[in-house]
């Protein structure tokens, strides 16, 4: 029964596209082709953005694509890596950045942000046999972080800004690999990314340590060049997508449950 319904829906979709599609793209009178916006990202941050069969995919990709579509734009993801992303937004080589980016006061001096769309916090990843059970236990240890992230900031708070106990990596998976090779004792990283890593690598012999007193809530937002005209219209579209059920649907797809309200 389900199959038949799906089949009918599929056929109607094909017919719809076949009939309606023709005059939309190249015909300026009935509607211009959607303007494309370049979204810089670092696709090594599953489940938010990661590479799958040569394509950037993930929660952020689906969400940002829906928001841009709602605002009348097409999303073009450019996987340039974390630090280049930050640069490309300053230089306006990208229209925006979407990469599980935490909204911080410091970043607000250089960038504009959308409304928040996801709550996060830092946590600690350690080898399964590690004795580390809190931030306090890290004090005489080495930790890995992704460079220029809020995880790196959290480490600086613990060890001091230029501490050589902080090992910085270009990507989160490199920091985790360094821990597996015993180069560092722990990794500080965003919670959902740590959980996804454990889910995808059940044999990695890694465990999660949470320290609620040490790490605050963070909120992800889209990052824009300062003064970008896009902020208001994207914010409006974001509000629509978050309220009309689209956000919940995408959330459920990637996290297997309804989002907590935040």
* H helices present in the chain, as ranges: 2-21, 59-71, 82-90, 105-108, 150-159, 172-180, 191-200, 230-243, 246-255
Closest CA to 144 of 113, 167, 170: 167
Min dist CB 190 to ligand ARG, Å, is 5
Give the nearest distance from C-beta 69 to ligand ARG in angstroms.
Answer: 22
Tell me which stretch binds ligand ARG (CB under 6 A): 5-13, 24-32, 146-154, 232-240: 146-154
Contact 187, 144 (CB under 8 A): yes
CB of 42 to ligand ARG, least distance (A): 4
Choose the stretch contacting ligand ARG; rule: CB under 6 A; options: 96-104, 197-205, 207-215, 240-248: 96-104
- Select from 59, 62, 71, 69 the least CA-distant residue to 118: 59
Cβ neighbours for 37, distance < 8 A, ≥ 6 positions apart: 68, 73, 74, 75, 76, 95, 96, 230
Q: Which stretch binds ligand ARG (CB under 6 A): 68-76, 111-119, 144-152, 209-217?
A: 144-152
Rule CB under 6 A: choose which of 95, 190, 196, 211 binds ligand ARG.
190
Site for ligand ARG in 101-130 (CB under 6 A): 101-102
Q: Which residues bind ligand ARG (CB under 6 A)?
A: 42, 45, 49, 82, 99-102, 146, 149-150, 172, 190
């Amino acid at each position: 029964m389900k199959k038949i319904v799906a089949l009918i829906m599929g056929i109607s979709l094909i017919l719809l596209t076949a009939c309606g599609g023709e005059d939309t793209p190249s015909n300026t009178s009935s509607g211009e082709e959607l303007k494309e916006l370049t979204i810089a990202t670092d696709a090594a941050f599953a489940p938010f953005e990661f590479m799958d069969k040569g394509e950037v995919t993930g929660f952020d990709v689906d969400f940002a694509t829906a928001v841009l579509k709602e605002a009348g734009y097409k999303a073009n993801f450019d996987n340039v890596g974390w630090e280049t992303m930050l640069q490309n937004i300053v230089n306006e080589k990208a229209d925006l950045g979407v990469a599980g980016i935490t909204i911080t006061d410091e970043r607000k001096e250089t960038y504009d942000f959308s409304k928040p769309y996801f709550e996060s916090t830092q946590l600690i990843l350690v080898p399964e046999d590690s004795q580390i059970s809190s931030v306090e236990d890290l004090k005489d240890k080495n930790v890995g972080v992704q460079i220029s992230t809020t995880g790196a900031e959290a480490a600086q708070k613990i060890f001091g800004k230029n501490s050589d106990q902080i090992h910085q990596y270009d990507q989160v998976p490199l920091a985790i690999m360094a821990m597996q090779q015993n180069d560092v004792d722990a990794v500080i990283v965003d919670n959902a990314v740590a959980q996804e890593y454990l889910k995808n690598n059940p044999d990695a012999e890694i465990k999660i340590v949470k320290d609620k007193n040490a790490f605050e809530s963070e909120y992800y937002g889209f990052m824009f060049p300062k003064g970008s005209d896009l902020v208001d219209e994207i914010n409006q579209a974001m509000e629509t997508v978050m309220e009309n059920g689209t956000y919940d649907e995408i959330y459920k797809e990637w996290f297997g449950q309804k989002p907590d309200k935040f």
